[in-house]
Amino acid sequence: MALNYGPSSFSCNLALKGFDVDTIICPLCSVGGDSRDHTFISCHVASSLWRRIGLWTDIDWPTVITVEDFFTWLDTSNASVASKARLYCIVAASLWWTWRRRNDSLHGVGSIKDRDLFDNVRLSSFSWLQARSKLAPSWTSWLCNPLF
């Protein structure tokens, strides 16, 4: 696997700004480069989370390379307005929890386990929808499939 040293590389950007960066390797998997696309799409932690979300939502998530590709797919999906709003909320929670997991790992906190990411995404996205929208179903329905 090639390391991504491009403009979306988190560690390279910090190093260019004068910060002392120990490594440019992904703190989650120690395999890929520490970049936006790797962290949120191709890192085994992220791809495992997307697979679980796909099973939960009964959606075949696209094979994408970049975060932009992912949002293009979301924007052009044929989902209803309610389903699309729920999907965006799930995606936002997924990105947020993946980023938090990355930072915990990077800074040696380790409070979030990979196995807990999916449950955190389900709970956070449901809570966010309940607080901000009338589109949230019951908790039981949400756990079965959030899009129906």
The CB density around residue 133, as the number of other CB atoms within 10 Å, is 12
86-129: per-residue pLDDT in tens? 999 999 999 999 999 988 888 877 778 888 999 999 999 999 99
Compute the average pLDDT of residues 25-31: 83
Looking at residue 66, the DSSP 8-state letter turns out to be S
CA of 138: how far to CAs of 46, 79, 145, in Å? 27, 20, 11
Rg of the chain over all Cα atoms, to the nearest angstrom: 16
69-81: per-residue pLDDT in tens? 888 988 898 888 8
- Reduced to 3 states, what is the DSSP secondary structure of residue 77? coil
Distance from C-alpha of 57 to C-alpha of 4, rounded to nearest angstrom: 31
- What angle do the packed helices 81-106 and 117-132 form, to 10 degrees? 130
pTM of the predicted model as reported, rounded to 2 decimal places: 0.81
CA of 11: how far to CAs of 8, 21, 35, 104, in Å? 9, 6, 8, 15
Looking at residue 68, the DSSP 8-state letter turns out to be H
| Residue 7, pLDDT above cutoff 70 | no
**pLDDT category, 18, cuts 50, 70, 90?**
low
Domains of the chain, residue spans: 35-144
CA of 128: how far to CAs of 1, 93, 109, 135, in Å? 36, 9, 25, 10
CA of 109: how far to CAs of 11, 27, 106, 129, in Å? 18, 12, 8, 29
Q: What local confidence, expressed as pLDDT, does residue 4 receive?
A: 41
| Residue 5, pLDDT above cutoff 50 | no
- Reduced to 3 states, what is the DSSP secondary structure of residue 112? coil
**pLDDT category, 16, cuts 50, 70, 90?**
low
